[in-house]
Chain A
Amino acid sequence: MDGMMTSEPIPHRTFPSPAGSGVVEIVIAVCLLILAGWFVWGRGAVTLPRVEPAAVSLADLDTRPLRIIQTDEPVVTIAGFERRCMECHRLFESPKKPPQRLTQHQDILLDHGLNDRCFNCHDRENRDMLTLRGEEAVPYSEVARLCSMCHGPTYRDWERGMHGRTSGGWDPGGAAYRRLRCSECHDPHAPAVHGMKPLPGPNTLRMGHPVDREHIAAAEQIDPLRKWQHVLEERRADDEDHGSRSDDPGAAEQGE
């Protein structure tokens, strides 16, 4: 190679020059100019649609337990005053069978299936305690033992961290680990967990946009992962609009 270079200096670069090369260069230049113009003035950049952020308040993301559990010194609010249980129950003897209509504690809705007697759970003698089948009194903090009298398998799962909420830390041996007790989620008088209104659904570029109710019904029947389905739906809706506006009976029928 070197030998060639020195022995034969290159005086001219003799590219084959086709007759139309000038035209090609001018075409390239014009194309570049058009492209540049399109980039600058045309719709070159994709503008992301601005969306309204999902309306989620701090209260929606509260991580505290759903219910505030009674302490070992239970307090009940009656007529706006906080009372210790035994303040009243020391004075009044409770009836053997609870009356059809309670005269006190009327805010309590008892909806616990077959368990519809106060003293199945509350200690008859010491109202600050709960009772295990009338045999042993346990404080409110050990409510799980009371629940286990009937809900054995659930208690077994809860004991092993397989049922219920945990909080704080993931290491069961750690100080932060906390297993919520039964009544921190369940109302003991009506223990079924009821539903709630869901927080807003996704409105993301990846998962598509929320569509109106009919479209949701349609989306349940088809693959939600395919965004084009929504596009089709929108197009169909557009066609319908167009059809009704142009008063074309054929298009309107097709739309329906």
Chain B
Amino acid sequence: MTQHSADNTDAGPHHAKMTRRSFLRRGGVAVGGAAALVASLKPLMDPELDPGDLGSIQRFLQKHYKEMSTEDMDAALARIRNDVERRYGLRPDIRDIKPMDGVEFVFALNLSRCIGCRKCVHACVAENNQSRDPEIQYIRVLEMPKGTIDIERASHHYDRPKVPSEDHFYMPVQCHQCTRPPCVKVCPVEATWQEPDGITVIDYDWCIGCRYCEAACPYWARRFNFTPPRFASDEQIAQNPDIVKEQLNPDMSYLSNRPREKGVMEKCTFCLHRTREGKMPACLEVCPVGARKFGNVLNPDSDISRILRNKRVFVLKEEAGTLPRFFYYFDERRSRSGSDELDAPAAQSGEDA
């Protein structure tokens, strides 16, 4: 009681000290602070903002992909299913697909065959639910003068009535799924990692969008979402009926092509929702000239193993030390003039002699 009264008497002089000047001072700072707080809420006034997108407690408390139990994952998938349905009006078939045992995926691309038609680019966009507005593309097709591999002088904005141009060749670049990925190394929150089958994936719910990985990647493979994926509006489709109407691909997996949130990174995942179920990546399926080759490098009889053994393959930016799982090769005449049994090393050395 005495303590209480002492407090009161203590508080008295403070009130007495509240002068006009200190009132103005504190009041001013308080008003300023309150105004700043209101201003910080301005993004909520965005007309495009859907209140449902603000996030739920479950999403906020969701664990890292590697720490999720089966029940956690089921809950997360159910939440994503509902979110996607609410936002895009289509109920997706989303699942968490684990890597297969004894499989390591490798891609190879035949530069002698590629004609630069960009079908892979757009098949990828359609398969992986990338944003159409603004556009996000995982594959960049470079056009370079023949006789050089000078990426500094390459162009990805080429527009010709007909490709291939006689004096250029084409080099599509996408995520190389490096064995020593710099993007994984720089991630401050371990939101991206390499899976046992060699695919570097991102937990879109764990990513903080710092874009360090984008800066670290020597292949320009990572993309940042400035908005949630936006598809063409009905208006845009009416104006340009060529735009693909069935835009959302409902065949989704947690680590690959589910629609991303604003402010997270994304990248090529070798279409893991397809390839982990035995199918080919979308870019390969659509390639009209068969320039793209994909397979399990641990199987010595796979197409990809044969290419690595028998073709002269090279990797892009070897000096970066990333050990990519993406190889380029040419059909050179010399390798075709030798023995029938390409696979046998003896035959190859005989050819060299």
Contacts and interface: CB of A to CB of B under 8 A. Distances in A.
A200 B156 contact: no
A211 B160 CA distance: 13
In this complex, which of B26, B40, B161, B242 has the most chain A Cβ atoms within 10 angstroms of its Cβ? Answer: B242
Contacts of B340: 156
A58 B246 contact: yes
Nearest to A179: B303
B58 interface: no
B223 interface: yes
A197 B336 CA distance: 31
Given A201-B118, A211-B157, A216-B155, A48 B226 contact: yes
A32 B32 contact: yes
Contacts of A56: 122, 125-126, 242-244
Interface string A60-100: 11110010000000000000000000000000000000000
A108 interface: no
Interface string B234-263: 001001101111100000000000000000
Given A25-B25, A56-B242, A61-B286, A196 B163 contact: yes
Contacts of B232: 53
Nearest to A176: B278
A172 B244 contact: no
A174 B334 CA distance: 32
Contact of B164 (A195, A200, A211): A195
A195 B242 contact: no
A66 B331 CA distance: 22
Interface stretch (B85-93, B133-141, B186-194): B133-141
A221 interface: yes
Contacts of B153: 220-223
A54 B163 CA distance: 18
A120 interface: no
B6 to A, nearest CB: 10
B39 A40 contact: yes
A154 B46 CA distance: 59
A36 B38 contact: yes
B123 A195 contact: no
| Interface of chain A: mostly helix, strand, loop or mixed | loop
Contacts of B10: 11
Given A28-B29, A163-B290, A57 B156 contact: no
A44 B39 CA distance: 10
A191 interface: no
A165 B287 contact: yes
B285 A167 contact: yes
Interface in A129-155: 153-154
Interface stretch (A109-117, A202-210, A240-248): A202-210
Contacts of A11: 10
Contacts of B288: 66, 165, 185, 196
A26 B28 CA distance: 6
Contacts of A63: 123, 285-286
Contacts of A51: 133-135
B136 A55 contact: no
Given A26-B25, A168-B280, A197-B162, A162 B134 contact: no
Interface residues of A, number: 81
A1 B154 CA distance: 68
Interface in A14-47: 22, 25-26, 28-33, 35-37, 39-40, 44-45
A30 B242 CA distance: 54
A172 B303 contact: yes
B296 A170 contact: yes
Nearest to A200: B118
Contacts of A58: 244-246
Contacts of B115: 193, 195-196
A50 B230 CA distance: 10
Contacts of B28: 25-26, 29-30
Nearest to A219: B155
Contact of A160 (B158, B224, B342): B342
B240 A55 contact: yes
B33 interface: yes
B244 A171 contact: no
Contacts of B136: 204-206
A33 B29 CA distance: 9
B302 interface: yes
B216 interface: no
A251 interface: no
Contact of B226 (A31, A167, A205): A205
Given A170-B278, A207-B137, A220-B158, 10 more contacts: A58-B245, A63-B123, A160-B342, A170-B275, A170-B279, A170-B303, A197-B160, A198-B117, A204-B135, A224-B154
Interface of A: 11, 22, 25-26, 28-33, 35-37, 39-40, 44-45, 48-58, 60-63, 66, 153-154, 156-157, 160-174, 176, 180, 185, 193, 195-208, 210-211, 213, 216, 219-225
Top 5 nearest A-B pairs by Cβ distance? A161-B303, A32-B32, A153-B336, A29-B28, A165-B290
10 contacts: A25-B29, A36-B32, A52-B240, A54-B132, A154-B336, A166-B280, A170-B275, A201-B118, A210-B159, A223-B152
Interface of B: 10, 21-22, 24-26, 28-29, 31-33, 35-36, 38-40, 42-43, 46, 105, 115-119, 121-123, 125-126, 132-137, 140, 143, 152-164, 220, 223-224, 226-227, 231-232, 236, 239-240, 242-246, 275, 278-280, 284-290, 293-296, 299, 301-304, 306-307, 310-311, 331, 336-337, 340, 342-343
